[in-house]
Structure formats: structure tokens, C-alpha cells
Amino acid sequence: MTDTELIEKLKADLGGKVAEIAHPAPRRLFLKVAPQDLIAVTTRLRDVYGVVFLSTISGVDNGETFEIVYHFSTPETDFNLRTEIPRADPHIASITPVIPGAILYERELQDMFGMIIDGLPDPRPLVLPDDWPAGNYPLRKDWKRVRPEEVIPGGKS
């Protein structure tokens, strides 16, 4: 099935749940869904279209909102699902009931952006150190690090 045929089938099948489907390059589809439809669309893609492989989940800080992109791929084409959640209330449901392999990527999103993923089986921090001060989310655009003074042994600072 070529990309254009696939887009037509998806539009007919998912209808209102998918706000837009972009096709910027061969084998790359970008679908936009609302946060509350995320689990329904993912389940449908897994059951009907055979989309089982999740490559990763990226988070982007867009100022007022956070954008989350789920990168799936099949041997024929790549599906990238995009949702947006408001910065003031960053909640999103976890897709681990549908795709168990998503757990580490969602934990990383929690660490780096401060998003709250509901329903995670294991919500501990993943990559930040044990003595990291709480409330600091490094990948937010407004977070800057103040470096402590470096002491060069045997020389001038």
C-alpha cells in the first residue's frame, strides 16, 4: 500500500480523531491527535495496521504548550503521532497498556520536562542523579544552569 492510499484509509477509518495528516517526505506520516484520543488511536493502529514497534517518544517545549511526538514504524512506513498538552497542566495518559516497551521513554519525559504521565507502572526518575534538586526540569526552555566556579589546581582560576 503506498503512502497516499494509506492516508486515505486512515482518514476514512479514524475520521474525527485525527486532526490532520502531514506527508512531508516518502515514508514519513505525521498525524495529529488530541490527548484524550491517544489511547484509542494507538490501539486501533496496533490492531488493524500492525503498528507495534515504538522507536521513541520526543518532547518539545513550545512555550505555552508541550508537544509530544510518538515515533512508530512498520516495514512499510513510519507513523509519527503528535499531541499537545498545556504547560500549566501537563497530564497525559500512559500508553504502556498498549505498547509495554514505552515505559522507559515516558519516565524520561517525566524527568526532563516535568510532565506527569498517568498510569505508569513504575514512575521513578530515570536519568537524573540521586541528589538532583526537585522541580528542576532541564529540557524546558526557561531552565538555565548556573555553573559553579571551577578551581584549576596549580594555576589561576
Partner 1 sequence: MNFQIPIGPQHPALKEPISLRMTVEGEVITDVDIRLGYNHRGMEKLAEEKTWIQNIYLVERICGICSHSHATCYVQGVEKLMDITPPKRGLYIRYLVSELERVHSHLLWLGVAGHEAGFDSFFMYTWRDREIVMDLLEMISGNRVHYAINTLGGVRRDIDEGQKAKILKGVATLRKRSEYYFYIGANEPTFVARIAGVGYLSKESAIALCAVGPTARASGWARDVRKEDPYAVYNEVDFEVATADSCDVLGRVVVRVKELLESYKLIEQMVKGLPAGDIAVKAPRKAKPGEVVSRYEAPRGENIHYIKANGTDKPERLKVRAPTLANYPATVEMLRKGFIADIPLIFAAIDPCICCAERTVTLIAAGSGEESVVRMSDLRRRAITRHQNAPVKRNAVWPL
Partner 2 sequence: MLNKLARWSRIRSPWVLHLNSGACNACDIEILAALTPRFDVERFGILLKATPRHADVIIASGPVTRQMRDRIIRIYEQVPDPKFVIAVGACALSGCVYRGAYNIMGGIDQVIPVNMYVPGCPARPDAIIDGVVKLLGKL
Q: Which residues bind partner 1 (CB under 8 A)?
A: 24-25, 27-28, 52-56, 58-61, 69, 71, 73, 75-76, 78, 80, 99-105, 108, 112, 125-130, 138-139
Of the candidate residues 124, 129, 135, 142, the single one contacting partner 2 (CB under 8 A): 129
Which residue among 5, 118, 142, 150 contacts partner 2 (CB under 8 A)?
150
Cell digits of residue 101: 516497551
Between strands 28-33 and 78-86, the pairing is parallel
Instruction: Give the one residue of 3, 30, 138, 140 binding partner 2; rule: CB under 8 A.
Output: 138
Burial 114-151 (b: 16+ CB within 10 A, else e): bbebeebeeeeebebeeeeeeeebeeeeeeeeeeeeee
Give whichever of 89 and 130 is closer to partner 2, judged by the CB atom: 130
Q: How far apart are CA 77 and CA 91, in angstroms?
A: 29
List interacting residues with partner 2 (CB under 8 A): 128-132, 138, 145, 147, 150-153
